[in-house]
Amino acid sequence: MARRTIYLGLLAIVIPYLYDRYVALSALAANRPSKLKDVYNFRQHEFKFRDSIRNCEDVLLVEEKGLAIVSCDAGRDRWNTVMGTFAQHKGVVGGGLYVYDYATPGLSEQDALARLTLKNIDTEDFHPLGIEYERKSGTLYVVNHAQTGSVIEIFDLDFKTTTATRRQTFRHALAFSPNSIQALGDGKIFFTNDHFIPAAMSPILSKIETFSGVPGGSVVYVDLTRPSETARTLARVPFANGIAMLNSSTLAVASTSKSGIYFFSVTADYHLQSKNHISPPEYHLKSQGYIRTPVAPDNISVDGNGKLLMAGHPFALATMKVSRGRANCDPDSRKEEDRKACDCTAAGWVAEWTPETGLRELYKGYDICTSSTAVRDVGRGIGLVTGLYDRGLMLFKE
């Protein structure tokens, strides 16, 4: 009898877990390549910069200037700390940051895109992932998966001279696998770590962490003007990926392994330290639930109407396959097999969400491969989608 009680108790713990994995994996099966049904919920789409940039992971809009900032890293083919590709012996090129003028009509592709000149940083070992821009101070935050260790770089950005000058590097025990950044102003940021066990530490354990859906990823707060006193883990999320403030009090975090978005209410406590001195804010996150998404989401963004946009991977195994094959990619090689290794064959997906309307798919199909971030300029009715392993950017019009 006692044994059975224990057994039932164990089942009670395990069944919800298995059910959860079952739902996540059956979504995977429903989107397997032969079953995937295209979705186009925008008026038109086209590709930009097919031959000038590739492997772009993040894009953000500075709408008042009609500019997009894009982070791209051709070196990801051989050095991907999230997916676990470490072929550095083959040579890894540095990545770059770009400014795209998407609002001025009639510009040639060449005139519309400028590569930012990076100053005061080792550009050979620069591997940008998530980026974030703080308007008031002109600060650009960039997650850099350098071979010497992952860090967050803090740049002063000058649009006029298209120059970004490194001011500070944040290297910290709590930034063990940094992925995405959300700025709160005045040097305060939230960022995600995607894994507790980065692939650089153990590729196998890192994969087990991904597939089991254990909450190994985290959300960290830091005030970069006083990093050592302020850095703190505020929440744990399985494979925490994109992060974005939905509004002034709600934070959204995408979980790639759980296939969902977690919501948190954000509060800040202030203490009176002495008569005229109030302490810096102490942030707290309180869970406000979770929505499941039909595919594994990657990055998220919030548009001018407050809608949450997400990009993701309908068939995550195909994305992993592309990433695995990439170490041999050489677009200029004479050998067909090396050029073929540059192909990108995994589907892309974009959706929007509001609490009132729920989730609505905007796009699903093979035009953009390994879609990682989607953003939208509501005023101009234009959106951009990046592809982690694709060439160029997809632009859509509504």
Ligand X SMILES: *[C@@H]1O[C@H](CO)[C@@H](O)[C@H](O)[C@H]1NC(C)=O
Distance CA 397, CA 82 (A): 31
Number of residues lying near ligand X (CB under 6 A) = 22
Please report whether residue 303 would count as binding ligand X according to CB under 6 A: no
129 binds ligand X (CB under 6 A): yes
Per-residue tokens: 11:
């089942």
Strand 296-302 relative to strand 308-313: parallel, antiparallel, unpaired? antiparallel
Please identify the residue of the shown chain whose CB is closest to the bound ligand X.
130
The DSSP string of 54-91 is B-EEEEEEEGGGTEEEEEE-GGGGTEETTTTEE-GGG-
Single residue of 150, 182, 255, 257 touching ligand X by CB under 6 A? 182
- The one among 72, 244, 285, 374 contacting ligand X by CB under 6 A: 244
Among the candidate windows 33-41, 91-99, 243-251, 338-346, which touches ligand X by CB under 6 A?
243-251
Residues 6+ apart with CB under 8 A from 11: none
Which of 57, 77, 303, 390 binds ligand X (CB under 6 A)? It is 57
CA distances from 33 to 25, 37, 312 (A): 14, 9, 15
CB of 296 to ligand X, least distance (A): 14
Phi, psi of 65 (to 5 degrees): -105, -5
DSSP 238-252: TTEEEEEEEETTEEE
Closer to ligand X by CB, 120 or 249: give it. Answer: 249
Structure token digits, residue 172: 């910290």
Q: Is residue 128 a contact point for ligand X (CB under 6 A)? A: no
Of 286, 258, 348, 290, nearest in space to 25 by CA: 258
* CB 4, min distance to ligand X, A: 44
**Interface residue with ligand X, options 72, 118, 131, 374 (CB under 6 A):** 131
CB of 363 to ligand X, least distance (A): 17
Residue 332 near residue 49, CB atoms below 8 Å = no
Closer to ligand X by Cβ: residue 191 or 315 = 191
Specify whether the CB–CB gap between 375 and 60 falls below 8 A. Answer: yes
Which residue number, 61 or 341, has a Cβ lying nearer to ligand X?
61
Any contact of residue 96 with ligand X (CB under 6 A)?
no
Q: List, in sequence order, every residue forming a beta bridge with 151; answer none if it has no partner.
A: 144
Q: Is 374 in the site for ligand X (CB under 6 A)?
A: no
Q: Strand, coil or helix: what is 111?
A: helix
Residue 355 as a binder of ligand X (CB under 6 A): the answer is: yes
Q: Count the Cβ atoms, other than its own, within 10 Å of residue 66.
A: 16
Please give the Cα distance from 53 to 384 (Å, whole number).
14
* Nearest approach, Cβ of residue 326 and ligand X (Å): 18
Neighbouring CB atoms inside 10 A of 287's CB total 11
Q: Who contacts 328 (Cβ-Cβ below 8 Å, separation ≥6)? A: 337, 338, 341
> If binding is defined by CB under 6 A, does position 249 make contact with ligand X?
yes
Q: Is 387 in the site for ligand X (CB under 6 A)?
A: no
Residue 344 binds ligand X, judged by CB under 6 A: no
> Checking DSSP bridges between strand 117-119 and strand 163-170, what pairing results, if any?
parallel
Question: Smallest distance from the beta carbon of 282 to ligand X, in angstroms?
Answer: 20
Residue 390 interacts with ligand X (CB under 6 A): yes or no: no
Q: Does 250 bind ligand X (CB under 6 A)?
A: yes
Cβ–Cβ < 8 Å for 177, 198: yes
Q: For ligand X, which residue of 75, 84, 95, 130 counts as binding (CB under 6 A)?
A: 130
| 180 binds ligand X per the rule CB under 6 A | yes
- Residue 242 as a binder of ligand X (CB under 6 A): the answer is yes
Rule CB under 6 A: which of 280-299 touch ligand X? 299
Rank residues 112 and 253 by Cβ distance to ligand X and give the closer one.
253
Strands 113-115 and 117-119: unpaired
- Per CB under 6 A, the list member of 5, 148, 248, 274 interacting with ligand X is 248
* Least Cβ distance, residue 124 to ligand X (angstroms): 22
- Out of 61, 92, 220, 246, which residue is the one contacting ligand X (CB under 6 A)? 246
Residues contributing to the site for ligand X (CB under 6 A):
57-58, 60, 129-132, 179-182, 242, 244, 246-250, 299, 301, 355, 373
